[in-house]
Amino acid sequence: MAARGWILNSSGQYWQTIRGFGASACQGPFLVVTASKTRLRQPHRKHLPSRARLTPSGNKLPSPLHAVLAWEKQVKGRTIIVGDVHGCFDELQELLAACSFNSNKDNLIFVGDIVNKGPKSAQVVKFAVEVGAYGVRGNHDDLALHALQYPASQPRKSKMAWLNEFEPEQVQFLDSLPFTLRLEGRDVLIVHAGFKPGRSLPAQRLGDLYSLRVCRPIDTLQSDKVPWASTWTGPQHVFFGHDAVRGLQRHAAATGLDTGCCYGQHLTACILPPLPPFRKDPKAPCMERTLASREDNDNARAFAAAREEVSAKVFKAAAEGKENRGDRDRRSKGFGGAAGPSRRAQRRQPAKLKKWQPRARAKQLRSAAAGR
């Protein structure tokens, strides 16, 4: 007989609806209760956390959810972004040695999936804590954190026995990993899996941030899915992992760094140079702007001198009665002469043009200064 019921985890951490055939529809340490929604939900509302306040694996949300690496922390040395390590401690040490990593100056950032699959996951996390590394949360990191915090709900298997080697500092490091990390001053965004194009960062689903690989383009009618990074247009450049099948991905606004280290392939890193010690203020004067202002001042002085010279010549010619026909016509129409247009020309002009026209005068002065 079909039944609709509620599954309560034995640790009391989450619940969900099911459709099945009695109690045989569920396997494992769960309590299946067939009852109405109203009768079961009300007594447990205070004890069951909301799914909106949990990660997809059932952990508490990190604080902050989207972190920022400050400008000042990127000044002393380089920023090294490493792909999915997956517990490969020896390969990580070889990569950092090839990069000449200096823990006193350089910033080390992981794109997620620091643990699991590899043989030395606990050593990788311990090293990350010692050097003060940064990172974002991957799906394997979240699963490991859930197994650490709720061992009764998810028994540790033999392949996750390394969880017993964790110390409180290492657990705190995993618990503090945000879902995204933005590098201030670089227009760089780091995430484990990816983003859905066309959505703002607050509108992205947390599950997509560490599980997305492909998507359907929103500006076409094709039904085939493509790698999300090929459709990402920015404005930030995204560094991500989680896609070992495609290996190193290079797109216009996204770079994939997961090259399958735990599958016998290579471990990849991207090195960014240090930032300048002072931030660029758009209103602060720079060398190019200073030179341009000096050149503008020189041109203004030369233009003023030429204007005075032309005005003196025109005034002198008008006073002596030696002005030619062209100067007389231009002066009568309001385009020449130091004294401006004649009264007859002013009467012919509309009311809004009775004043001496400065644009025409400036045009005449520019032509005279150019030697025309």
Residue-by-residue DSSP string for 59-103 = PBPPSSSEEEE-GGGGSSS-EEEE---TT-HHHHHHHHHHTT--T
Hey, what are 275's tokens? 């930032």
Which DSSP category does 286 fall into? -
- pLDDT tier at 315, thresholds 50, 70, 90: low
Q: What is the pLDDT of residue 358?
A: 63
- pLDDT tier at 146, thresholds 50, 70, 90: confident
Asked if the model's pLDDT at residue 100 lies above 90, the reply is: yes
Quick one: 180 exposed, middle or buried, by C-beta within 10 A (0-12, 13-18, 19+)?
A: buried
Q: What is the mean pLDDT of residues 60-89?
A: 92
Asked if the model's pLDDT at residue 282 lies above 70, the reply is: no
User: 42-73 pLDDT, tens per residue?
Assistant: 444 444 444 557 888 888 888 899 999 999 99
Single out the residue of 139, 106, 107, 144 nearest to residue 125, CA to CA: 144
Contact at 8 Å (CB) between 153 and 31? no
CA 283 from centre of chain? 24
Contact at 8 Å (CB) between 310 and 220? no
DSSP strand pairing (237-240 vs 254-256): parallel
Among 186-190, 197-201, 236-240, 283-287, which is the least confidently predicted range? 283-287
Q: Which amino acid is at 138?
A: G
User: 1-26 pLDDT, tens per residue?
Assistant: 444 344 444 344 444 443 443 333 44
Which DSSP category does 105 fall into? T
Strands, sheet with 269-272, edge to edge from the N-terminal-most edge strand: 134-135, 107-110, 79-82, 269-272
Residue given tokens 């500092």 in the structure block = 169
First to last CA, the chain: 101
Asked if the model's pLDDT at residue 206 lies above 70, the reply is: yes
How far apart (Å, rounded) are the C-alpha atoms in residues 276 and 10?
A: 54
Asked if the model's pLDDT at residue 202 lies above 80, the reply is: yes
Q: What is the mean pLDDT of residues 191-195?
A: 91
Contact at 8 Å (CB) between 131 and 108? yes
Single out the residue of 183, 57, 230, 216 nearest to residue 191, CA to CA: 183
Contact at 8 Å (CB) between 4 and 18? yes
Which DSSP category does 281 fall into? P
47 or 178: whose pLDDT is higher? Answer: 178
333 or 87: whose pLDDT is higher? Answer: 87
- pLDDT tier at 196, thresholds 50, 70, 90: confident
Q: What is the pLDDT of residue 348?
A: 55
Domains belonging to the chain, first-starting first, are 3-45 (no CATH), 66-272 (3.60.21.10), 292-369 (no CATH)
Express as a percent the part of the chain with pLDDT over 70. Answer: 59
- pLDDT tier at 298, thresholds 50, 70, 90: low
Q: What is the mean pLDDT of residues 22-41?
A: 40
Single out the residue of 295, 312, 246, 223 nearest to residue 83, CA to CA: 246
Contact at 8 Å (CB) between 109 and 82? yes
Among 45-54, 190-199, 212-221, 307-316, which is the least confidently predicted range? 45-54
Q: What is the pLDDT of residue 349?
A: 52
Contact at 8 Å (CB) between 121 and 141? no
321's CB contacts (< 8 A; 6+ apart) are none
Q: What is the pLDDT of residue 39?
A: 40
